[in-house]
Amino acid sequence: MSYQIAIDGPAGAGKSTIAKRVAKKLDYIYVDTGAMYRAMALYFVKNKIDIYDELAVNEACQDIDIAIKYENDVQQVYLNGENVTAFLRTEEVGNTASVTSAYKKVREKLVELQRKLGKTNNVVMDGRDIGTHVLVDADVKVYLTASVEARAQRRYKELLEKNEECNLEDIKADIEDRDYRDMNREISPLRQAEDAILVDSSDMTIEEVTDKIIRLTKVRLTKTAGFCFGVKRAVDIAYENGKENTVYTLGPIIHNEEVVKDLEKNNVFTINTLEELDKIQKGATIIIRSHGVSRKIHQMLEEKGYNVIDATCPFVKKIHKIVDEESKSGATIVIIGNDGHPEVEGIKGWSNTDTFVVDSEESINKLSIDKQKKICIVSQTTFNYKKFEDLVEIFVKKGYNSSVRNTICNATEERQKEAKEIAKAVDAMIVIGSNSSSNTRKLYEICKSECDNTAYIQTCNDLDMSLYEESNSIGITAGASTPKNIIEEVHTNVRIKF
């Protein structure tokens, strides 16, 4: 997987100098935007495209591919597979680039190429909208700035060294004008991305800024931290519907007190019992959470006249369908999972025949199913894959006439796998999640087994940075019920204080 560092900031903050140094130190590719515009211009020159005919330029854009590589520490630019580095600095190419870079399509093409480079290489990019537009999912986003005074002084010194005539007050005024224009332009105005770390280089040396950015890369947030697809979808549905009216969820939509409290502030309330449900007036909106419910509960809600919104995860829905169809065709249903878990209860409720739940060899031994009869084995989505395979093997050995449907969702497995890998590679690990979340506890156990300095925190308030004074790298992960804002708050604070 590639690693992306986005550095944005106002003119004169030293972005390109810093970006090049960071790239060199980390052995990443510094994406030289200027060289890319020139490579595009070279294509137009070589193919005799009339650069004043914007339509012709637009059309030609689709045939351009650019790659940047480093060979013996020197940047090489490839245009459609050919090394064109030596041809980029000519007057003709420069003049062409200055005309064509103003075209919207050319800029769009450049963004497309930059994203492509960022996907396949470890990159450092600098500009004014890298973190907010080009690489919105960059691993590290930095907003590099310096006071107008500091930037003016730097420029002033530079010009004096070149023996150029200059005036400090004029330089300051120019910088202020430029900042204003950049921050107020219509397309991609300069602004700090919400998840960017502010680095003010006014009183820092180039070395210090470079080291600061490199240190930011030592804090690694797992990509799979937080809500899985199904939970995110259900929570989004709840917030969306709460905007219009008061709505209710059947059981907490997620095992996280912070989210449940926030949902209440947004008109979304939890119903925990059928008695509580009876107190809700007809016509009210009831949301079914991602675990899903049985057909009976579905029907009961509709018969009582509620407006039912089904936020069952599509992966769980698929199991309901399998169970319904297979049981209709006469198969006995076996669910490998934890009896009593709401998801398993829901799955059971879509079967039309005998249904059994097993989670161990002993529970399989206790089954009394006619071995001639067809059984259909499905799994609870969050069941351990290895254990599922072992239990299926037992059914096979016992000679059951079984059809096996692996319905395990790999979101949990992927999260655990990634957390384990990162925990192995860092000096300290932070696991974020509610005390009541079993998958967060499991994540904590996995990380702790790989990294002794692993802490379990619920929110940023529990963060104890004194634990990391001796650490050179920190990993962060979060359980499936931890909301994005809590993860981001912890991530930002760790990076600022580390």
In the complex, which residues of this chain contact ligand F3S (CB under 6 A)?
228-231, 290, 313, 315-316, 381-382, 409, 411-412
Considering the complex, state which of residue 68 and residue 446 has its C-beta at the smaller distance from ligand F3S: 446
Alpha-carbon distance of 378 to 150, in angstroms, equals 65
Considering the complex, state which of residue 210 and residue 290 has its C-beta at the smaller distance from ligand F3S: 290
236 neighbors 498 (Cβ within 8 angstroms): no
The active-site residue out of 343, 361, 414, 445 is 343
Considering the complex, state which of residue 290 and residue 332 has its C-beta at the smaller distance from ligand F3S: 290
Q: Quickly list H helices, 128-167.
A: 148-161
Between strands 74-79 and 66-71, the pairing is antiparallel
CB of 172 to ligand F3S, least distance (A): 54
Alpha-carbon distance of 423 to 488, in angstroms, equals 19
Cβ partners under 8 Å of residue 357, min gap 6: 334, 335, 336, 337, 338, 339, 344, 348, 363
In what helix (H) or strand (E) does residue 116 lie, and over which residues does it extend? helix 104-120
In what helix (H) or strand (E) does residue 197 lie, and over which residues does it extend? strand 197-200
347 neighbors 316 (Cβ within 8 angstroms): yes
> Any idea how long the chain is?
498
User: What is the sign of the dihedral through the CA atoms of 310, 312, 313 and 315?
Assistant: negative
Return the residue nearest ligand F3S (CB atom). 230
CB under 8 Å, gap of 24 or more: what pairs does 228-231 form? Answer: 228/409, 228/411, 228/412, 228/415, 228/480, 229/313, 229/411, 230/290, 230/313, 230/314, 230/315, 230/316, 230/409, 230/411, 231/290, 231/313, 231/480, 231/481
Is-catalytic flag, 343?
yes
CA atoms within 13 A on the CB side of 37: 19
Q: Which residues are catalytic?
A: 343
